[in-house]
Chains A and B, each alone.
Chain A
Amino acid sequence: MLRGLRFALAPGSFTCLIGPSGCGKTTTLRIVLGLDRDFAGTVRRTPPDLRMAAVFQEPRLLPWRTVEQNVRLALPSQQQDRTAPDLDRLFAILGLEEQRARYPGELSLGLARRVALARAFAVAPDLLLLDEPFVSLDEHTADRLRAHLLELWQSQGATVLMVTHNVREAARLADRLLLLNGRPARLVGDVVVPLARGGRQGEALARFLAALGREHPETVLA
């Protein structure tokens, strides 16, 4: 379902993969993660053992472990003892202090999504992959989580690849947009977002989105 797909991610960059539903965005992500091995081609990670973390479409938490245990269990072995990393700040940023001892089954979807974000950031990944992490959240919650994501990305310096079909979200978060479309899907656009992070609202954002829509109507408007 993918053909001739070729791209490189600059260290520390924030890239969004955009395209209509079912065009292979999630598959691309799964190939990068090493979860899908049924493809011809290569994925080169430098260094090869670089630390990855993922936020899936569903939170994928262990329902039999508390919020805090879910986050801690994702840490590498040398950090498994209770003292090692400072999770307090992370839980505070994501507003999860009150939820640390609760089980995922007691959480709303929005809270569970935050736990999934906390888990991904706790491991301080070199490469963070997000698969529509804010879909089916109310706009207010989604906006707050996007702000948290940016804040954590800026403080940690991870390379981020995020899949979304929400162009507006992509344009507000990413440095670069990869547009995927067709059957089999290929890269139809590689756009650098020319806006400063502070100025991504109102008129400037609308102009950028309109231009993007004129250039790639079948990918962006679908």
Chain B
Amino acid sequence: MPRLPLRLISISAFLLLWAVAASLAGRSEVPGPLAVAAFIVDEAAEGALFYHLAVTLARVAAAFVIAMAVGTAIGVLMGQHRRLDRLLDPWIILLINIPALVVIVLCYIWIGLTEVAAITAVALNKIPNVVVTLREGARALDPRLMEMAQVFRFPRLRLLRHVVLPQLAPFIAAAGRSGLALIWKIVLVVELLGRSNGVGFQIHLYFQLFDVAAILGYALAFVCVMLLIEFLAVQPLETHVNRWRPGASFRAA
């Protein structure tokens, strides 16, 4: 298995390059990896790091769940009903093209500087992507399997669980994976603009102090959290969902 050593080499090379570049620059605005690591350790010992990470993570989770649920429902309906698709398609195009910042600002103005506004803004930014992806998924549903289910009189729930969802799973996974990355980036902006805690708020604070080590420290810490989620939750889930595919056991080995 040459995968792990190669990754380690890649990460070490990145850290080395960073350290060299920082020492060549020789300014406090370009901190080296050690300075950033020291900040992370201090902030973690104080407890502030975990508090802000947790707050941001909770917002990411809430917005993610809402965006996936609403987007999947709308996308599947649009994929299956042509009229509804024609009716809602312009709205989706509009929503996809409105800059995230505009949605955030409008939500804060109309709903107020509240948690609801923050999460609504993030979800609204993600929903159209989920809709478009899941609409493709619903269009790709195999009519032959649907007919089979109809002949054998599958009740609605059995149809959904055993016939429809497994066909949508790759599309849900694709929407989820790109969604997680997009959502946490937007959550930081939302926090920067109108919340008084979370990673985005901290970065805003340290931006005013020009403390780059702190900015990088928070950013890196959150990236690490997202990577952990990817390795501990997303990838095992994918392996489980794809276990039926020919060669799945081979790939997992």
Binding site for B on A (CB under 8 A): 33-35, 52-54, 56, 58, 60, 62-65, 69, 73-74, 76-77, 103, 105-106, 119, 123
Contact = CB atoms under 8 A, between A and B. Distances in A.
Nearest to B148: A60
A74 to B, nearest CB: 4
Interface in B198-253: 244-246
Contacts of A73: 152, 154, 158, 162
Residue among A62, A103, A106 having the largest count of chain B Cβ atoms under 10 Å: A62
Contacts, number: 49
A105 B152 contact: no
Main secondary structure of the interface of B (DSSP, over half): helix
Contacts of A63: 244-245
Interface of B: 144-145, 147-148, 150-155, 158, 162-163, 166, 244-246
Contact of A76 (B153, B166, B244): B153
B152 A62 contact: no
Main secondary structure of the interface of A (DSSP, over half): loop
Given A53-B152, A73-B162, A123-B152, A62 B145 contact: yes
A52 B150 CA distance: 10
B244 A56 contact: no
Contact of B162 (A65, A103, A106): A65
Given A62-B162, A65-B162, A77 B155 contact: yes
Given A52-B151, A65-B244, A58 B162 contact: no
A103 B158 CA distance: 19
Contacts of B158: 73, 77
Nearest to B247: A105
